[in-house]
Chains A and B, each alone.
Chain A
Amino acid sequence: MSTSSYLIRRVLQAVAVIVIVTIVVFGLLHALPGGPARGILGPQATAQQIAHFNHEQGLDKPLPVQYFYYLGQLLHGDLGTSYTLNEPVSQLITERLPKTLVLTMLSALVGLVLAIPMGMWQAVRRNKPVDYVITTLSFIAYSTPVYFLGLILVLVFSQGLAWFPSQAPQGETLGQVISEPQALVLPVVAGAASMVAVFSRYMRAATLENLSEDYVRTARAGGSRARAILWRHVFRNSLTPVVAMLGYYVPVLFGGALVVEQLFNYPGMGLLFWTAAQSSDYPVLLGCVLVIAVATVVGTLLADIVQRIIDPRVKAGRA
């Protein structure tokens, strides 16, 4: 299949996925017992106020009508208006998303940059002390809940050693956020920890697998040094599972961001999502889920494309 027709097909499929996601999410949301009114208006609200709210938000209309209305708005780029914050959801998201992106991108970058060499190093040193140490550390990192890790980081590096502030940058704009790099350290570390653990494990497994392939012997016979073999050959061949993981990792990153944002007082998208979920703010919830869904679908799409690039056999359907 040629690349362009593959791309077209794949993008169309991605769009279909997003439509399915909206249907599922919309349906699930409205399957919730009681509706959002109580959650929004609080325990002291009267029945009239609830009815009024439901009418105002169109929640008394049949579900399909609501859905198509929502979809119609969506096509015009309108994500609705927050029940609790009054602002248009799209505006809330454009305000918050960049902050979260800074966090997640940095975490992902730091995570990968550490994890990949670490995994390879472990594979090369399989069953040697380094391997054991890193394995153990990985699993501690992975099995430590982010909130626990964050707490420890704050305790040690903020309260104890006072190296880094306990709060992420509090600036509103992206520029302000970036201008306080030392305040980003702890949140990024907390966000990257489990990523390092996961990816180093996958990388280690894949590298081990590849190290026993015959082509490694050929390269050795050609006088390539171990390190060169590792980076020129084994590295690329081991990337397949890692790349397959990357696409799916988008929602995980967002999930992590949620906790990190809470811990470090950094109101980004994760927090917006969490708050909306807690307060039954359906439009914001839908908006956030949609953004995450699109990001994930784009992520998986990119992962598939990257896989085609690094492994020509996939493209030839021969793999």
Chain B
Amino acid sequence: MSAVIQPDLGPAKAAPPREASGARLAVRRFLRNKLAVVGLAVVVFFFLFCFAGPLVYSTDQTHTMLQQVNLAPSGAHWLGTDAVGHDELGRLMYGGKVSLIVGVAAGVLATVIGTLWGAAAGYAGGWIDAVMMRIVDAGIAIPALFILLVVSAIATPGLTGLVVILGLVSWLVPSRLVRAETLTLKNRDYVLTLRATGGTHARAILRHILPNSVSTIIVAATFQVADAILLVAYVSYLGMGVRPPQTDWGGMLSAGLTAAYSGYWWLILPPGLAIILVVWAFNAIGDGLRDAFDVRGRG
């Protein structure tokens, strides 16, 4: 593998600068990352597609139409119809609402909780760290599947509930990661300087440790978003997801897959591509955000 690598540590070019304010600089740093811009465009597109799309392309997503199931794409149904006769394109918009909302909200929730928890534990050190991390260990050690199974047997949460549950089962990973980062960051001289001059711990964590762990956090966050989008489908399998007539991309995909051998590609590719594109786009945005926060002027 190493033989393939042709590292190139040499200098890279940067765009010519102009005078600008801090916030605008950040925006400019973000925009300089072409991929991030594309990612942003993709996300914006999907939000528009899901939330404004039905205004343009309106379909009936509450009633099944058993007379017209599994139809291939045509002028009447641009992406065909699914196993109970819903228009697939309309369904993609309909399901996308849930996937986008839950994915982003649960992903963000998990990342925020995990990040704060991990930073606090790593920063505090000593027995506080030990206790906090053992709680995380215990949480990680209990398979999420088991918890979801139990929860789904007891309750059927709404959308908010879903976000909270998914957030609560997935914050553990980011917390461990951020703690590891914190351990190496908390004794940096700039943190020591802050502490020696009476800065609060909160500031040390929020202004120094977290920004310096931002790349780890962002990678974690993008995975959390992806996880959440996929998890919604998974918990549907356990009976905890959104209820019909609502749906989500993951659910559409797994339902479509049962017809994989029948060649109903229009039931598989659209939700599959949508998930992949959105996940990819969030990652690209994450990358761009990292650049935006990064004043280090790395070439």
Contact = CB atoms under 8 A, between A and B. Distances in A.
A and B touch in the complex (CB under 8 A): yes
Interface of A: 9, 13-14, 16-18, 20-21, 24-25, 28-29, 31-33, 113-114, 117, 120-121, 124-125, 127, 132, 135-136, 139-140, 142-145, 147-148, 151, 155, 198, 201-202, 205-206, 208-209, 211-212, 216, 220, 226-227, 229-231, 240-241, 243-245, 247-248, 251, 254-255, 258, 273-274, 277, 285, 289, 292-294, 296-297, 300, 307, 311, 313-314, 317-319
B210 to A, nearest CB: 14
Contacts of B1: 113-114, 117
Given A32-B153, A139-B279, A314-B184, A125 B8 contact: yes
A13 B223 CA distance: 29
Interface of B: 1-2, 4-5, 7-9, 12, 33, 35, 125, 130, 134, 137-138, 140-147, 149-150, 153-154, 172-173, 176-177, 179-181, 183-187, 215-216, 218-219, 222-223, 226, 229-230, 233, 250, 253-254, 257, 260, 268, 272, 275-276, 278-280, 283-284, 296, 298
Given A142-B223, A201-B222, 18 more contacts: A28-B150, A139-B280, A140-B276, A140-B280, A143-B230, A148-B268, A212-B296, A229-B7, A240-B181, A241-B181, A244-B176, A293-B142, A297-B141, A300-B137, A300-B176, A307-B180, A319-B183, A319-B186
Given A117-B5, A124-B5, A206-B216, A145 B230 contact: yes
Contacts, number: 187
Q: Determine chain B's interface SS by DSSP, over half rule.
A: helix
Contacts of A294: 141
Nearest to A29: B150
Contacts of A132: 35
Most chain A CB within 10 A, of B2, B172, B180, B280, is at B180
Contacts of B257: 147-148, 151
Contact of B134 (A13, A201, A277): A13
Nearest to A245: B177
Contact of A296 (B125, B137, B146): B137
A32 B177 contact: no
Given A33-B153, A143-B280, A313-B184, A227 B141 contact: no
A247 B136 CA distance: 12
Contacts of A145: 230, 233, 250, 253-254
A151 B260 CA distance: 9
Nearest to A294: B141
